[in-house]
Every structure is written in structure tokens, then in C-alpha cells.
Structure 1
Amino acid sequence: MPHLATANTELARHVAAGLQKTPKTLSSKYFYDDAGSELFQQIMGLPEYYPTRTEFGLLTTYRGAITAALRPVSDEPFYLIELGAGDGLKTKILLRELLEQRANFSYVPVDISSGALDGLAASLHAELPNLRVEPVVAEYTAALTLMAARPGRKAVLFLGSNIGNFSPSDRREFLRALTQPLSPDDRLLIGFDLQKAPRLIRAAYDDAQGVTAAFNLNLLTRLNRELGGNFDLAHWQHYTDYDPIAGVVRSFLVSTRAQQVHLEALDQTVDFAAWEIIHTENSYKFTQPLISQLATEAGLEAQNFFTDEQAYFADVVLAPQA
């Protein structure tokens, strides 16, 4: 296999398998190279993209009640563990509230990227110098298993609408894996994007400025760069739609003509028919009964349900069943 594949063997394996499927499929987790991360930052500020600003407002409004639900009743030390902390913008609302309450806690951001954690730790040191920060470079479930050995409550954050990117079966298994190391005294705070007007949801994933289209198409640019591909972006389109029955946004890349694409790192040439698609992302939307059902299936119990005035988004506090 040519040398290009050694730059990212996981990506190479994924693309080799995904482009053999029917329909062809690539995972949304590969959106986030440097250019993709920058585009997503732009998406979060778009007028159509309601999830980020809605959850930010929700956390601001209910920060006292949310932190009270997460911390132990006594003043014993506890850990606030965040899975996929990113830039920490929303989390800092809760961190500041806990510091103002003089809560006895340590913040444990978890990510597989040490670079991302180093950047977050530096910004927290500058903005919140009294905060105890213990970054952990690990996969989510491995980090929780590691933390489970420590005494004290673990309050685990999984903010944003990231839970919606899992298929129903993968979502169930993911939540069960998160729950397994936790004790009945521990807590989870998970963000859920709620079902609402279909046109409003669809617009959030297909904005008028075309930033989301550029974000989706950037995946092909990444394959060209890292796997020696020759995707011609002039002959690809971004397409997305929302299915209100299944409650899911599906995003695709569409080949606008019959074409062949060669990937040097895979030593593979892939045929595309005119208007054939590559499925790149699912984003599921939820209802309160569905969240309660999902919690029960994972061995959890929904304890607090915080939502905004328009019921666009929910942050839900869950506890492992005894």
C-alpha cells in the first residue's frame, strides 16, 4: 500500500470499507480536521444554527439548578468529567457557577487529542486560575473506568447534540458503556436536540450562506490531501433532509455525474454513478418520552429535565439505576 496511508491508517481503513458499502458511507467524525473545525465554529454562529446558542442560553438560565443537581448534597469532593470538551465555552458557565458556590470539585476534560486538551487547559488557567483541572487523554469509556476507582461523586457531562450522531443501536450501546463504571451516586448531564418544526431543523443543516455545504465537502478535500484522492469538488453537491417520522437529519454528498475517483493510499479506484450519494451524517432529534425510554434501556433514570422556553433543546440529568 502506498506511503500516504501511513499518515492515518484508521482513516484509510474506514474509507476503504465505507466506499464499498451500499449506500456508500463515511463517518461524520472525520469532518474535524483543522479546516473542518474552523468551519464548524462558523456554523455555530449562523442564524439558522439554533443548537449552540439555545443550549448556551439554557445553561445560563438554569446554571444554579443544574449544578445543584450534579454536585453531592454534602461538601465532599467530586469530579466534573466532560467527554469531548472542545473549547469549553458552554462548560465555563457551569464551572464559574461551581466556583462561585465554592464547590469542592476538580474538572476533568476528556479527549483523545492531547493538543485540544492542552489548549483548553491553558485557556482555563488564564480565565479561571482557581479551578483544579486534570485533563485525561483517553477514549471516553476508558477514562470513566479510570476515574471510577477514585472516591467521590462523578458528574459526567456530554453536552451539545453529540448523542444525536449515533444510530439508535450505537446510542444504546454507548450509553450502556458510559453507565457501566458509574455508581448510583454518580450523575450524567446529556444534551438532546428536541423535535420541532421540520423546516427549522432542516435549515440548521443547510444554511443560506453555504457554510454547512463547505463543511460537508471539506471531507472530500481531506481525503484528497491525506489519502491521495482526486475528488473534483466541482462535481459534488451537499444535500440534507429531515425525516420527521424517524426524527433524523441525514446529510449526503451527491455525485453530479458518472465519475471515477482514485485513492492513491488505498490503491483503489471507486466508481460513482450520476446522482449517487455518500451518506456522511445522521443527527437524531428527541422527545421527552424517547429520552426517558433511552435512559431506561441504558440502566439510567432521568432525574431533571431542563429546557428552553421554545422547547428546542434539553439538558437532562440522569442517574444510574440502583
Structure 2
Amino acid sequence: MATTSVMHTVLVPVKQDRREIFFQDVIRGLSAKSKYLDSKYFYDAEGDRLFQEIMRCHEYYPTNCEMEILQEQSAAISQTILAHTSRFDIVELGAGDATKSIHLLKELLNTGKDFTYYPVDISANVITQLEQSLPAQLPSLKVNGLNGEYFDMLKEANVLSAKNKVILCMGGNIGNFTPAEARKFCRQLRSCLQPGDLLMIGFDLKKHPQIILDAYNDSAGITRDFNLNLLKRINRELDGNFDITKFGHYPTYDPGTGACKSYLVSLEEQDVRIGEQTIHFDLHETIYMEISQKYDLEAAEQLATLSGFETVGNFFDQKKWFADSMWLCV
């Protein structure tokens, strides 16, 4: 019987440094002419919990679409991987709870290949949960959890293993960037990889605008609570005094550009204290929270080419609302 190797590599700054970086990022964003907050700070323990709830909302289709792909097509995805490399490790960026990737991991284990799964997540809470849950579900899986920023942890994975890397960037995470930022991200990702490495990347495809808008404005208000939770986190960790009842949640979708954006709107003129800093909000002034960019297949394949990859496979759900594209490093 194979043994399970579970290691936890934590490469994050000490707590005080993290708090100071968080504080500086918040003040920088809220002092800008057009206020914004960095979406990476959504994910404290409560943010993780709320995001899991969002993914279970009936309006939030991407989860079910991609789950269908992984449940129904993991054998085909596995065959595509094995057609390009025989010695590899899996690195998942933004692993979450791994409920989708576990289907592919199980399929790859069934091929008898010896590989290690490196889940990467900015949330230490997520990594801890994966270390507890995955060995129970897949006893033969070797796991090395990496807690930190994507590129730092990808470099760490390259130090730990000389095998080809199969990078999983699922969940439509590429949509968290504007198109220009996505090109920069993919090029930076390519710079961390070697020819022959693979990247499976999820794209939320363009569809009827109302379907998309409803996904980011669910009837239960969970997406609203997810956005407002960042203000609560600022209150708790940075000595802030946001009154969340004085902010509303406002999502938008532009079907022409494919940009779905979320804002918080100040419902009155107000001053908010964060530590020793005071931030003024005008009535109806907005805080830009995040983008979820939607793609068509042509734009996705163009992104691959511009970033140093070649598309070697596309896997769709039945409705063709979502695509997991397999890219080869060239």
C-alpha cells in the first residue's frame, strides 16, 4: 500500500509584516481617486466560508459547469496530459476545497503514475483543510501544501521537484484580471515554466448577460455579504470602523467587453477611520472590488498564443458555458 506524504510549506511574512502590507494596500486603494480594494484580501476564514456558499448558489453556474467537466471528462483530460508528459507533478493555483480537481487526481492515480499534488492558496485556512481532507479521500495521494502568493509558491514547487509541471488554474480565476492583466499574468506564469509543461486554465464563456449578472447578484445576498466581509476584516484586523449598513453592493456586466465588475457604494457622505487614517466617502461614491472577465474561445486561444503557449485541448460542459483549456508551454 502506498504511503501518504503530507507536508506543509509556509512561505509567508510574519504576522506583523502581513498586517502592515494589508494596511498599506487598503490605504493606497481607498486614497486613490477612484477607490478600490484588492480582491486577494477577500479570503479570511469567513471569506472562505462565504465563497464556498457562493459556489453552491443556484445562480452561480461556473461551479456546476466546471464540476461537470471534471466529473465527466477527467479521463480525456488525463489522456491529454499523458500524451505530452510521462513524468509530472500537479500544481493547483487557488486550490480551494479541491472538490473539482479531486476527480482528475483520482483519474491520474488510476494510471499508476507517481506524482505529487501541490495545492497553492493564499489562505492558510484552505491549505490546512486540504491537508486534513485529501489523505482521507485519496490515501495514495502525495500532498505538499503551499501557502502563499502564486508565483512565489510556483518557484518553490520547481525547487522541490524537477519533473514537468501540470498547472491547474481552474474556477475561471483568470477572470479576476482585466484582459491586459491576464496577458501579463499568463506571460509571468510562462516565465516560471519550462517547454513541455502544461497549464489547464478555466474560462467562463460569454453567454446571455442576465445569466452572468444574476450569478454575481444572487437572491440570497451571499455575494453581497462576501464583498462586505472585507470591510469587516478591515475593522477587525486594521482597527477600522466601517459601518457596513452604510454600504450597498452593486454588480455590473458589459456584454460587449465581457467585463463583470462588483462595487460597494457609499449610501451617505461619511468618514471612516482605519487605524490613524481617515478616509472620506461622498454620497454614492464607489469602491471597486473585483472583476470577473468573460471570454469567447477565440479570445482565450489568442491569450494562449500571446503568452507563449499552444492550445492542445478544450473541454466544455454540455451547455458550453465554461471551458477548461489545456495549454502546452512552447
Structure 1 and Structure 2 fold alike (TM over 0.5): yes
The TM tier, using the shorter chain, reads over 0.9
**Structure 1 residue 67 corresponds to structure 2 residue 78:** yes
Q: Please report the TM-score for the alignment, with normalisation by the length of structure 1.
A: 0.92
Contact 1:82 1:157 in 2 (8 A): yes
Q: Which of 202, 225, 237 does residue 191 from structure 1 map onto? A: 202
Indicate conservation of the 8 Å contact 2:118/2:157, yes or no.
no
Contact 2:71 2:103 in 1 (8 A): yes
Quote the residue 1:164 is aligned against. 175
Partner letter of residue 208 of structure 1? S
Q: 2:227 aligns with which of 191, 194, 216?
A: 216
Match of residue 305 from structure 1: 314
The 1-side partners of 2:127 and 2:242 are apart by 33
Task: Give the distance between the partners of 2:46 and 2:211, measured in 1 at CA.
Answer: 26
Deviation at 1:202, TM superposition (A): 0.2
Q: CA-to-partner distance for each residue in 1:141-168, whole Å, 9 max, x for gaps? A: 2333344464432111111111100122
Match of 1:81 in 2: 91
State how far apart, in whole Å, the 2-side matches of 1:144 and 1:166 are: 19
Matched, 1:40 2:40: no
Structure 1 Cα separation of the partners of residues 153 and 18 of structure 2: 26
In 2, distance between residues paired with 1:126 and 1:282? 35
Aligned equivalent of 2:297, options 272, 288, 292: 288
TM-superposed deviation, 1:62: 0.9
- Distance in 2, matches of 1:256 and 1:117, equals 37
**Distance apart, 1:11 and its partner CA:** 1.2
CA distance in 1, matches of 2:130, 2:163: 24
Q: Structure 1 225/160 Cα, relative in aligned 2: closer, same or farther at 3 Å? A: same
Q: What pairs up with 1:170-319 in 2 under 5 angstroms?
A: 170-263=181-274, 265=275, 267-319=276-328
How far residue 116 of structure 1 moved from its aligned partner, in angstroms, is 2.9
Give the Cα separation in 2 of the matches to 1:112 and 1:253.
23
Distance 1:36 1:50 in 2: 19
The residue aligned with 1:122 is 132
Superposed CA RMSD: 1.9
Given the superposition, is the C-alpha separation of residues 213 and 112 from structure 1 closer, same or farther in structure 2, using an over 3 Å criterion? closer
Shift of 1:137: 3.8
The answer as to whether partners of 1:82 and 1:156 remain within 8 angstroms in 2 is yes
Q: Which runs of 5+ in 2 are unaligned?
A: 1-14
Cα separation, 2, equivalents of 1:79 and 1:221: 38
Amino acid at match of 2:288: H
Task: Supply the AA of the counterpart residue of 1:283.
Answer: S
- Native 8 Å contact 1:78 1:153 kept in 2: yes
The residue type paired with residue 296 of structure 1 is T
The 8 Å contact of residues 84 and 196 in structure 2, kept in 1 or not, is answered as: no
2:32 counterpart residue number: 21
| Range with bigger deviation, 166-175 or 233-242 | 166-175
**Matching residue's letter, 2:230:** L
Change (3 A) 1:49 1:139: same
Distance verdict in 2 for CA 1:5–1:261, change over 3 Å: farther
2-side partners of 1:37 and 1:146: how far apart?
24
Normalised TM-score (structure 2): 0.90
SS of 1:246's partner is: coil
Which aligned segments of 4 or more residues in structure 1 are displaced greater than 6 angstroms?
4-7
Q: Which of 10, 23, 27 is equivalent to 1:12?
A: 23
Unaligned runs of 5+ in 1: none
Q: 1:6 to 1:230 in 2, by over 3 A?
A: farther
User: Does the CA-based 8 Å contact 1:71-1:78 persist in structure 2?
Assistant: no
Number of aligned positions between the proteins: 315
| Separation of aligned partners in 2, 1:8 and 1:301 | 40
Label 1:304 to 1:140 Cα distance change in 2 as closer, same or farther (>3 A): same
